[in-house]
Amino acid sequence: MPKTIPEPTIERLCRIFRLLDEKERGDTASISSGAIEKETGIPAHTVRKDISQLGSLKSGKEGYDIKGLKDLIENTFSLNVPRRSCVVGLDMLGSAMLNNNQIINAGYKIVAGFDSNINRMEMMDTDIPLFPTYEIEKKVREYSIDFAIIAVKPEKAKETAEKLIRGGIKGIINFSPVILNFEDNIIVRNIYLVEEFRLLSAMIATTGKQKGEKNEESV
Amino acid sequence: MPKTIPEPTIERLCRIFRLLDEKERGDTASISSGAIEKETGIPAHTVRKDISQLGSLKSGKEGYDIKGLKDLIENTFSLNVPRRSCVVGLDMLGSAMLNNNQIINAGYKIVAGFDSNINRMEMMDTDIPLFPTYEIEKKVREYSIDFAIIAVKPEKAKETAEKLIRGGIKGIINFSPVILNFEDNIIVRNIYLVEEFRLLSAMIATTGKQKGEKNEESV
DNA sequence: ATCTATCTGTGAAAATTTTCACAGATAGGC
DNA sequence: GCCTATCTGTGAAAATTTTCACAGATAGAT
């Protein structure tokens, strides 16, 4: 085992990765931990500590070499391995995901969409192949799909996840407000829209000056 | 000061709140920490510890009274205070947010939408009043809007946030991939779609069995 | 080559968060 | 009332994560 990297560190490094991606086509070739702090809010010493977990990278008076650091993160986390994804549930949110430029620009290919409503699918205007939900297991396997975005109605979320898992899915991004909790080695990232609202409310109520992030985990 | 509640605890309690909301219209009137663990994945002792931070609630052989616990969380975090929200950027993702049932059902009112493209707004079919982005500051103030969802193009994210803040916004849910980092007491929850994909990749690469959450921080 | 200013890398300390273990409380049966 | 089974509440221990402080490294100037 190559040494365990703590989850908060993984999250921060992915955030830094995006910054590097922006900066890569910029004027300078390097960036310091202090500059990373200014742009991301992650304290400089934490940035250094996190990066040091990746093994060493030659330093310098200038800070980190942007390209070098980016590649190091990319390799460590296998971000360069191409991943195929699908979207299940093609109402407004699901459709927005199917056509999401951010996702496509980052190199993640969305290769299929699923919905239980065949009429709706026939009306949709997209190049991505669409299938009825009863074909999920079959198509996930056939297309070797790694990741799925779940945007179905809450009452369908669990069975949708189970179909995906039977098809061999590796990771799920779950937009439904149902807590998906599997023993297996399926990784689920939950994006709870409503909870983000509640967290804003809660943070205002408790102090008004918490830090506000988590990705989170997550929406 | 009423005692500081750690942020991870706030996030878990909001998750538990949702579970209670589901269970409230169920058959039983109470739920134990063990049952909460089974449904949320949060360990029972952590559940108890978290709940104990809220001050005491009479216990019993049966576990927690669902209604009582729900009210306690609601009051502690002022989740019952009505909040008015808006959406800035009405492309597919923004429109999906404007019409999102989850948000509405949870009692959060979306009272305005903003977009820089006036033609697009005229074509949209919604009862929610829509305004051009140059009116953000004015309208946020006029409607006393508390929260905003930012779904604009990355290059517009920062200036959008600044307009909202000048209008007096209290919290922002940011869907753009730009890191918004303010000194002020504005709370920002970032939902980084692409980062969720990267985190799935990273977690598979590092061990394949990390726990997967945040949002998840954050979506 | 030496000096200086600027950064990183990292062991150790501090802070935070989670886990544990068990005392205390409650409801039901006898 | 008393006993038992089931839970919570919580101080203390353990684990994890963040912060600190400074040694070491590099690049440029003189």
Tell me the pLDDT tens digit for each residue of A190-207.
999 999 999 999 999 886
Residue nearest to nucleotide D26 (CA to C1'): A60
Residue nearest to nucleotide C20 (CA to C1'): B45
Residue with the larger pLDDT of the pair B126 and A62: B126
Residue with the larger pLDDT of the pair B2 and B69: B69
pLDDT higher than 70, residue B208:
no
Nucleotide D29 C1' to residue A30 CA (A): 21
Measured CA to CA, the distance from residue B200 to residue B74 in angstroms comes to 32
Within 158-217 of A, beta carbons closer than 8 Å to B belong to: 170-171, 173, 175, 177, 179, 181, 185, 187-217
How high is the pLDDT of residue B27?
A: 84
Calculate how close chain A gets to B101, using CA atoms only, in Å.
10
How high is the pLDDT of residue A169?
A: 96
pLDDT higher than 80, residue B180:
yes
- B112 to B64, B105, B131: CA distances (angstroms): 39, 17, 7
* C-alpha torsion angle, residues B186, B189, B192, B193 (rounded to 10): -130
Residues 6+ apart with CB under 8 A from A75: none
**Portion of chain B with pLDDT greater than 90, in percent:** 79
Mean model confidence pLDDT for chain B = 90
Find the range with the poorest average confidence among A187-191, B158-162, B171-175: A187-191
Is 0.85 topped by the overall pTM?
yes
DSSP 8-class letter at B63: -
CA angle B142, B144, B149 (to 5 degrees): 110
Within 79-108 of B, beta carbons closer than 8 Å to A belong to: 79, 81, 83, 85, 91-93, 95-97, 99-100, 102-103, 105-106, 108
- Check the CA dihedral B123-B124-B125-B130 and report its sign: negative
pLDDT higher than 50, residue B193:
yes
How high is the pLDDT of residue A217?
A: 35
A83, A193, A209: best mutation site toward chain B, by most B Cβ within 10 Å?
A: A193
Nucleotide C13 C1' to residue B142 CA (A): 51
Interface residue B153 vs chain A (CB under 8 A)? no
Q: How confident is the model at residue B216 (pLDDT cuts 50, 70, 90)?
A: very low
How high is the pLDDT of residue A59?
A: 66
Nucleotide D7 C1' to residue A145 CA (A): 44
Low-confidence ranges of chain A (pLDDT < 70): 1-3, 58-60, 183-184, 207-219
How high is the pLDDT of residue B185?
A: 81
Q: How confident is the model at residue B57 (pLDDT cuts 50, 70, 90)?
A: confident
